[in-house]
Chain A
């Protein structure tokens, strides 16, 4: 995209920034393939001399670390992986769907009140920890605690303001006359939005979906306090890799983190052109 040459100073600044951003990713990748002896060796081992996949094996077979004399891993991560997929996919889909229709509604049929953004975003203006305990009590009473329905409900409630607001900005950027032309040409209002508005904000829709999915996928606190044994997600599972004998199982944690990152990185790469377009949508108005 940019053919511009960077000056030496710019190159150095970029290099430093890249190292700062990518170092944790590098460290996690390396840790994931280190044997237990290398996890917290001193001095630090940067690149493992004997790379191994035992950490990944442990995720599905808790006893795999036995050969290194490490035991006490309670359960496989399988359930957490599927739990995360279920909770994140369903709640992201619902959040984006509700957000999309709200966004179109507010942008096109709203009264333009200055209170609307305040009301929608006020739900996000206090720390989630403040509402976690009340939710535990309420969910216990209605039997939603330790259930995926409960977790999904709270994820949708928490992320819908974001999806609504993000999508609204994309709808706002689209000249309303384009969908109105379709209404005049014979579409009903709903059909005009479905066939004209939504395809034209596709980039924004991808960007929003990605953003909301990351929020849900990495959410830790609600998943922790609202689950006992039925429900598990990857962030919660990560916290469980602590044993009485061997301390924190850094390698196994890193392996699960790599597994959790992989789909996001792949999807992000596949839709990157849409993401870029989503960010610059305002600039392609005719």
Chain B
């Protein structure tokens, strides 16, 4: 048994250009990221992006084809999972179906050969923290999704690993419980200074709890940043669409200079853009794709609006509503206050204008790369 001691000089986890393929099909390509101590890092990506493979290699359940995984400063190549001192919660939880809640939680201690008294005391403590005293004597199949979730959490928390790997741990729960438990996870992580690496396909979840988001797509890390930065300054078109609901509007647009002024042409409108935007505009009348988040569009009096369009759908999200509007050149989603939609109905014509111009995003039409935001040029 090798015991990894926490070392201040090293991040808890360092993944360096790790690649993995299964039967000739590449699952991960040269991914790199680090997880600092006492942080919550989220791997965000759609199904098949390589999230589970990444976690499995860190846990030692799969071996990377190339690259290096370092845990607390030690290269763990070839180490068995049991020697890595990581805990993992699987997406299907993987509780022992033939063991009671108590025995599930106690199992890591039993394997370590702890005495009965110690085990009883620790499990009782854990049961109190997670409020699961009433289900300890039951088998997993008689528990609800949330109860199983807590048992799995208890089994991971009962020992003190250097790193917790959580693979879509909340995916099997209903919406209300998911939000409750993710807050609880976050609080527990902060209170105890645990280091969490969590995989999820849900950007809301990632935005809500992550210190850092590692954006994974088709086996590649495309962006690693703070949640807000990923939202405001996505590295490309795909990240911009993945993060944010309702989805960002992507419309074809063009720059046009007239004397010293530069105009932005999109959705049948024309905006005056400050001079310093020139760098991105580059050569005259360059075409590109414009990203406007739905909250940066608003309804205005249709007589003096720059964009005129017809409503095709109204979707209420409670306090806010999403309007989908369409004109000859574009279809746009607009986030509005629900109170403003009372008089609106599909088919009606409305006027729209863009606000917060510094939040506009500009993407290359062919590569999808973000060219540079107005905000970055402005400051």
Interface residues in chain A, defined as those with a beta carbon under 8 Å from any beta carbon in chain B: 111-112, 175, 177-178, 180-189, 196, 199-200, 284, 286
With A177-B90, A181-B96, A184-B88 known, 9 other A-B pairs at CB within 8 A are A112-B23, A178-B94, A180-B88, A181-B90, A181-B95, A182-B96, A182-B107, A184-B86, A200-B98
Given the interface pairs A200-B98, A286-B140, the reply to whether A183 lies near B82 with Cβ below 8 Å is: yes
Interface contact B155-A186, CB-CB below 8 Å: no
Contact residue among B96, B148, B155 (Cβ-Cβ distance under 8 Å from A196): B96
Closest 10 CB pairs of A and B: A177-B94, A186-B111, A185-B108, A177-B90, A183-B81, A181-B94, A178-B94, A186-B82, A184-B81, A184-B88
Indicate whether B226 reaches chain A with its CB closer than 8 angstroms: no
Given the interface pairs A200-B97, A286-B97, the reply to whether A187 lies near B82 with Cβ below 8 Å is: yes
Interface contact A180-B90, CB-CB below 8 Å: yes
Interface contact B95-A286, CB-CB below 8 Å: yes
Interface contact B92-A189, CB-CB below 8 Å: no
Indicate whether B112 reaches chain A with its CB closer than 8 angstroms: yes
Nearest-neighbor residue (CB-CB) of B1 within chain A:
A186
Find chain A residues with CB under 8 A from B284 CB.
none
Contact residue among B80, B88, B90, B111 (Cβ-Cβ distance under 8 Å from A189): B80
> What's the minimum C-beta distance from B142 to chain A, rounded to whole angstroms?
11
Contact residue among B90, B94, B97, B108 (Cβ-Cβ distance under 8 Å from A186): B108
> What's the minimum C-beta distance from A187 to chain B, rounded to whole angstroms?
6
Find chain A residues with CB under 8 A from B60 CB.
183-184
Find chain B residues with CB under 8 A from A184 CB.
59-61, 81-82, 84, 86-88
> What's the minimum C-beta distance from A266 to chain B, rounded to whole angstroms?
27
Contact residue among A112, A177, A187, A284 (Cβ-Cβ distance under 8 Å from B111): A187
Find chain A residues with CB under 8 A from B88 CB.
180-181, 184
Given the interface pairs A183-B81, A200-B97, the reply to whether A286 lies near B111 with Cβ below 8 Å is: no
Indicate whether B93 reaches chain A with its CB closer than 8 angstroms: yes
Interface contact B81-A180, CB-CB below 8 Å: yes
Find chain B residues with CB under 8 A from A183 CB.
60-61, 80-82
21 intermolecular pairs with C-beta atoms under 8 Å apart: A111-B23, A175-B92, A178-B97, A181-B94, A181-B95, A181-B96, A182-B96, A182-B107, A184-B59, A184-B61, A184-B81, A185-B155, A186-B82, A186-B111, A189-B80, A196-B96, A199-B98, A200-B98, A286-B93, A286-B97, A286-B140
Find chain B residues with CB under 8 A from A111 CB.
23
Find chain B residues with CB under 8 A from A185 CB.
82, 87, 107-108, 111, 155, 159
Indicate whether B141 reaches chain A with its CB closer than 8 angstroms: yes
Interface centre among B59, B60, B61, by most A CB within 10 Å?
Answer: B61
In B39-95, the 8 Å CB interface with A consists of 59-61, 80-82, 84, 86-88, 90, 92-95
> What's the minimum C-beta distance from A131 to chain B, rounded to whole angstroms?
34
Interface centre among A175, A186, A286, by most B CB within 10 Å?
Answer: A186
Nearest-neighbor residue (CB-CB) of B62 within chain A:
A180
Find chain B residues with CB under 8 A from A199 CB.
98
CA distance A182 to B82 in the complex (A): 8
* Total residues of chain B contacting the partner, CB 8 A: 28
Interface contact B140-A186, CB-CB below 8 Å: no
CA distance A187 to B111 in the complex (A): 7
Interface contact B108-A175, CB-CB below 8 Å: no
CA distance A186 to B155 in the complex (A): 12
CA distance A82 to B88 in the complex (A): 52
> What's the minimum C-beta distance from B105 to chain A, rounded to whole angstroms?
11
Find chain A residues with CB under 8 A from B159 CB.
185
> What's the minimum C-beta distance from A28 to chain B, rounded to whole angstroms?
40
Nearest-neighbor residue (CB-CB) of B141 within chain A:
A286
Find chain B residues with CB under 8 A from A180 CB.
59, 61, 81, 88, 90, 94
Annotate B137-152 by CB proximity to A: 1 below 8 A, 0 otherwise: 0001100000010000
Annotate B10-34 by CB proximity to A: 1 below 8 A, 0 otherwise: 0000000000000100000000000
> What's the minimum C-beta distance from A140 to chain B, rounded to whole angstroms?
46
CA distance A143 to B240 in the complex (A): 76
Find chain A residues with CB under 8 A from B86 CB.
184
> What's the minimum C-beta distance from A170 to chain B, rounded to whole angstroms?
14
CA distance A232 to B140 in the complex (A): 50
Nearest-neighbor residue (CB-CB) of B81 within chain A:
A183
In B90-118, the 8 Å CB interface with A consists of 90, 92-98, 107-108, 111-112
CA distance A44 to B112 in the complex (A): 70
CA distance A178 to B61 in the complex (A): 12
Interface contact B82-A188, CB-CB below 8 Å: yes
> What's the minimum C-beta distance from A105 to chain B, rounded to whole angstroms?
16
CA distance A10 to B61 in the complex (A): 52
CA distance A177 to B61 in the complex (A): 10
Find chain A residues with CB under 8 A from B111 CB.
182, 185-187
CA distance A196 to B80 in the complex (A): 17
> What's the minimum C-beta distance from B122 to chain A, rounded to whole angstroms?
14
Find chain A residues with CB under 8 A from B93 CB.
286
> What's the minimum C-beta distance from A103 to chain B, rounded to whole angstroms?
19
Interface centre among A178, A181, A183, by most B CB within 10 Å?
Answer: A181
Find chain A residues with CB under 8 A from B112 CB.
186
> What's the minimum C-beta distance from A192 to chain B, rounded to whole angstroms?
9
> What's the minimum C-beta distance from A128 to chain B, rounded to whole angstroms?
35
Find chain A residues with CB under 8 A from B61 CB.
180, 183-184
Find chain B residues with CB under 8 A from A175 CB.
92, 94
> What's the minimum C-beta distance from A273 to chain B, rounded to whole angstroms?
15
Interface centre among B96, B97, B108, B112, by most A CB within 10 Å?
Answer: B96
